[in-house]
Chains A and B, each alone.
Chain A
Amino acid sequence: MLTLNNIEVIYDNIILVLKGVYLHVPEGRIVTLLGSNGAGKSTTLKAISGLLKSERGEVTRGSIEFQGSRIDRRDPSDIVKLGLAQVFEGRRGFEHLNARENLIAGAHTNRDWRQVRDDVDRVLTYFPRLGERISVQSGYLSGGEQQMLAIGRGLMSRPKLLMLDEPSLGLAPMLVEEIFGILKRLRDEESVTILLVEQNASLALSIADEGYVLENGKIVLQGRADELGENADIKEFYLGLSEAGARKSFRDVKHYRRRKRWLS
């Protein structure tokens, strides 16, 4: 459904961030993109949704294809109309609109008000918590509610592909599990394709079908999520587990560091 062919992204004409990223998101699946801070995960998402321009970035090589048509070099507003929605890291709600207005604003590309009304109800069935606080200004919602609102707003444009940038950021573990459960339901019941960028590798791999590992602007590992979860390197560096599967002792870390095999 979405394919990134070996893209290269340069910020400010001088800083090379992505050095050839290949990514394929098949329809109806959850694909997760893992990687440490500064690996280029958010840049990858921005390259897809066309938001690089406002940060002086540029896709200089490679191509991005969505359902067979190239979308690099297109306007972000056009890309949304093709059915690609992004949920930002750190939520970014319209603070002065209430929750319902935020959702309706998310349906900006949809001119049919009956559909919009039904979509609001549909989103509220996934996020009942939002229904209770539907007329509260979104600036006054709690962090978790704002994250739900952000995902709901993303769904309002009836996306074929939903991209989420760290939905677990700053949320309580219970809320994170709830949100991830909802993402899984969205895939199963609404057949929404999801590209998920996460720091919380174990949780992301538990709901994803496939995973990619991005490091230093390159894809270093890819595979089925359950296989990645078993990979010794992933266990060591992203899940914090030693080979035996037990929790790692920090004393050992200092003495003996496992080399990342993909970097050698």
Chain B
Amino acid sequence: MINRETGTFKRTYAEDLAIFRTPLPKIAIGVIALVVFVIVPWLGGSYWLGGLNLIGIASLGALGLNILVGYTGQISVGHAAFMSVGAYTAAVILREFPGTHWLFAMLGGGCAAALVGMFFGIPSLRIKGLYLAVSTLAAQLIIEWVINHWSWLSGGAQGSIYIQPPTFPWIENGELVVRKMDANLHYYYLIYTVLAVGIVFALNLFRSHLGRAFIAVRDRDIAAEIIGINIFRTKLVAFGIASFYAGITGVLYTYFYSIANFESFTLLVSIQFLAMCIIGGLGSILGSILGAIFITMLPIVLDFILRGVGGAVFGWDDAAASAIMPQWNLIMFGGLIMFFLVVEPDGLAKMWRNFTDYFRVWPFPYV
């Protein structure tokens, strides 16, 4: 059997510890890697790769936020602010020390965001739930204000710093040359490699001592404390890891747009990332990615559909469509989010689980 546990017996300790109990997940991972890293870049045009890049960046950010909100149970509405910390740190490093490799600037951005995130995570020792949300809201506002007003840090009134695109080694005519990333395809490989590392790290995190401590703190903090988990440290580490993800996300935005700009990191963006986690499924890695795809792609797909339907049914030309589109797009965007949440309150990841559960016990209706 390739997809069921029935009939797969474990004869050694190593088999018992195996991550994949059946061959299907291994095949699936191979296929996904092949599709993501070979087939899609090969077939996809520049426009679609651009969209996929945004999805990849958003997935990484949502994954980080889900570690904090979904797995550790600490609400944060300052996620975009932590992204901006990463973005501006990397941009400032590249501006002040022009020779620095972009990879170091990226790690620097992640670490700076982690430190700032841990600082703003300190209140989580005493406050929980909605109160913590308000406190992280303050973090969002403080960081936004700092970026807007400290011009030596954020590069003047617009609060934007232009950066040189990252470079990568390339073989041209038998010679090793350094090329700048100037096509969506180049960024695609950068973003999806980082995302793959982020996903593998997160998956392993929750098989570890620390990850289980996160879940224990979320499920019952008092019981977690009584078995010897240092709650404060655990929460701070969760803030740190989530903010590190956020920082890297911010750096990727900066590299992708070649500019660090505070407008990509407003409160609205924070809310959007929370929405990704909730609609994708709190406490689910797959959910973070599905949520990021949903929130990023929905406006684009809706635009596509509305233009098509509007043109066919009401005979809108492009100008009329452009005038009507923004309103309808937002209404349907909000409506669809509500629809999906009502149908499955636990998010898209739960829908996927229901689907796989059904086939796991098929042809029986239940176990």
Residues of chain A having any CB pair with chain B under 8 Å: 10, 12-16
Contacts and interface: CB of A to CB of B under 8 A. Distances in A.
B367 interface: yes
Question: Which among A12, A13, A14, A15 has the highest number of chain B CB atoms within 10 Å?
Answer: A14
Interface string B331-367: 0000000000000000000000010011001000111
Contacts of A14: 357-358, 361, 365-367
Nearest to B346: A56
Contacts of B361: 14
A16 B367 contact: yes
18 contacts: A10-B365, A10-B366, A12-B354, A12-B357, A13-B354, A13-B357, A13-B358, A13-B366, A14-B357, A14-B358, A14-B361, A14-B365, A14-B366, A14-B367, A15-B366, A15-B367, A16-B366, A16-B367
Given A13-B357, A14-B365, 5 more contacts: A10-B365, A13-B354, A13-B358, A13-B366, A16-B366
Q: Which 3 A-B pairs have the closest CB atoms?
A: A16-B366, A14-B366, A14-B357
Nearest to B366: A16
Contacts of A15: 366-367
A16 B366 CA distance: 6
A90 to B, nearest CB: 14
Interface in B189-244: none
A12 B357 CA distance: 10
Nearest to A16: B366
Contacts of B354: 12-13
Contacts of A13: 354, 357-358, 366
Interface of B: 354, 357-358, 361, 365-367
Nearest to B361: A14
A224 B124 CA distance: 56
Contacts of A12: 354, 357
Nearest to B345: A56
A57 B70 CA distance: 24
B125 to A, nearest CB: 23
A12 B354 CA distance: 8
A109 to B, nearest CB: 28
A16 to B, nearest CB: 4
A163 B357 CA distance: 34
A14 B357 CA distance: 8
B365 to A, nearest CB: 8
Contacts of B358: 13-14
Contacts of B367: 14-16
A13 B355 CA distance: 11
A13 B353 CA distance: 12
A223 B357 CA distance: 39
A14 B358 CA distance: 8
A10 B357 CA distance: 14
A15 B357 CA distance: 10
Contacts of A10: 365-366
Nearest to B354: A13
Contacts of B365: 10, 14
Contacts of B366: 10, 13-16
Contacts of A16: 366-367
A12 B361 CA distance: 13
A12 B346 CA distance: 12
A14 B361 CA distance: 8
Q: Which of B357, B361, B366, B367 has the most CB of A within 10 A?
A: B366
B281 to A, nearest CB: 15
A15 B358 CA distance: 11
Nearest to A11: B366
A10 B354 CA distance: 14
A253 B278 CA distance: 51
A86 B299 CA distance: 47
A38 to B, nearest CB: 15
A15 B354 CA distance: 12
A12 B358 CA distance: 11
A10 B365 CA distance: 10
B329 to A, nearest CB: 33
A13 B360 CA distance: 12
A10 to B, nearest CB: 5
A46 B351 CA distance: 25
A10 B358 CA distance: 13
A18 to B, nearest CB: 12
Nearest to A8: B366
A160 to B, nearest CB: 34
A186 B358 CA distance: 47
A136 B280 CA distance: 44
A13 B367 CA distance: 10
A14 B360 CA distance: 10
A55 to B, nearest CB: 12
A233 B361 CA distance: 35
A12 B365 CA distance: 11
B177 to A, nearest CB: 57
A64 to B, nearest CB: 20
